[in-house]
């Protein structure tokens, strides 16, 4: 199994900038890519775009030469106003790219709990060169808005969880189980089941109201995120899906 992680933009044109700490996409996602690679160094390799004409095609030739099974390009979103928020994933015209995007989107939403902006098909325009690679299925992620202060804080706080979500989404697409991570108390397999059980424990007495009202933007961010995760569990159970 070979998972390519491509860091968006390059050292000279570093993309959008987070409003809270002025860190660029290129720098922030370079660190995120390193965290992903550390979780599964035997399967993951990080690729960087280099300045100059054809940089996207150039980096994906490197990905193809490595014989990647899939590729994920890292970005974050931005808008002219601070109110834009949410997570989205771009995919190409192939069914495999779409499936990869679906796995990534689902895992990232579980990690961050922000608005689901969905998966977006790109046949042309922004991101289309990356996501329509023929050598391997490719998706481009925009987990949050760097122009939104609260989402910058959220992404920073849950950056390790986001790294794990991206890796697990790619692994699930390729037919493999989630990775195990080590916490301060010792080895702990943070499987999908464990994360869902954690959500039950954290929410506790909000279970009943979650069933009645679902996700609510009027609640504090942490509470809303947990309620959303719990609602996901109920939806899975209702459909007879495996936790």
Q: Give me the residue spans of the domains in the chain.
A: 3-173, 191-238
CATH superfamily of the domain spanning 3-173: Zn-dependent exopeptidases (3.40.630.40)
pTM for the structure as a whole: 0.75
Pair 165, 107: CB distance under 8 Å:
yes
Predicted local confidence at residue 18, as pLDDT: 96
The DSSP bridge partners found for residue 44 are 3
Q: Which residues of 99-130 are buried (b: 16+ CB within 10 A; e: fewer)?
A: bbbbbbbbbbbbbbbbbebebbebeeeebbbb
Per-residue pLDDT of the chain (243 residues; tens, 9 = 90+): 999 999 999 999 999 999 999 999 999 999 999 999 999 999 999 999 999 889 999 999 999 999 999 999 999 999 999 999 999 999 999 999 999 999 999 999 999 999 999 999 999 988 899 999 999 999 999 999 999 999 999 999 999 999 999 999 999 999 998 886 644 333 333 444 445 555 555 555 455 555 555 555 566 766 777 767 776 776 666 555 555
- For residues 98 and 126, give the distance between their C-alpha atoms in angstroms, rounded to a whole number: 16
Angle between helices 25-39 and 159-173 (to 10 degrees): 60
Predicted local confidence at residue 179, as pLDDT: 83
- For tokens 């993951």, what's the residue? 44
Burial class (CB in 10 A: 0-12, 13-18, 19+), 227: buried
| Exposure on the CB side of residue 131, measured as CA atoms within 13 A | 28
Predicted local confidence at residue 229, as pLDDT: 72
Predicted local confidence at residue 185, as pLDDT: 39
For residue 82, give the DSSP letter: T
């Amino acid at each position: 199994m070979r998972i390519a992680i491509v860091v968006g933009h390059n050292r000279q044109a570093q993309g959008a900038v987070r409003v809270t700490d002025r860190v660029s996409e290129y720098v922030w996602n370079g660190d995120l890519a390193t965290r992903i690679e550390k979780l599964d160094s035997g399967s993951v390799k990080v690729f960087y775009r280099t300045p100059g004409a054809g940089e996207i095609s150039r980096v994906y030739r490197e990905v193809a030469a490595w014989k990647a099974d899939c590729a994920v390009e890292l970005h974050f979103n931005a808008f002219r106003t601070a109110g834009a928020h949410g997570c989205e994933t771009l995919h190409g015209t192939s069914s495999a790219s779409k499936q990869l995007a679906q796995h990534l989107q689902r895992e990232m939403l579980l990690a961050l709990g922000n608005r689901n902006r969905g998966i977006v098909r790109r046949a042309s325009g922004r991101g289309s060169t990356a996501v329509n690679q023929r050598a391997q299925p490719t998706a481009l992620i925009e987990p949050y808005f760097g122009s939104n202060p609260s989402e910058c804080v959220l992404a920073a706080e849950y950056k390790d969880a986001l790294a794990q979500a991206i890796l697990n989404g790619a692994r699930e697409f390729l037919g493999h189980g989630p990775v195990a991570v080590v916490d301060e108390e010792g080895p702990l397999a943070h499987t999908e089941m464990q994360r869902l059980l954690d959500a039950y424990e954290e929410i506790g007495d909000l279970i009943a109201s979650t069933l009645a009202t679902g996700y609510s933007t009027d609640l504090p961010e942490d509470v809303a995120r947990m309620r959303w995760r719990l609602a996901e569990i109920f939806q899975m159970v209702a459909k007879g899906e495996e936790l």
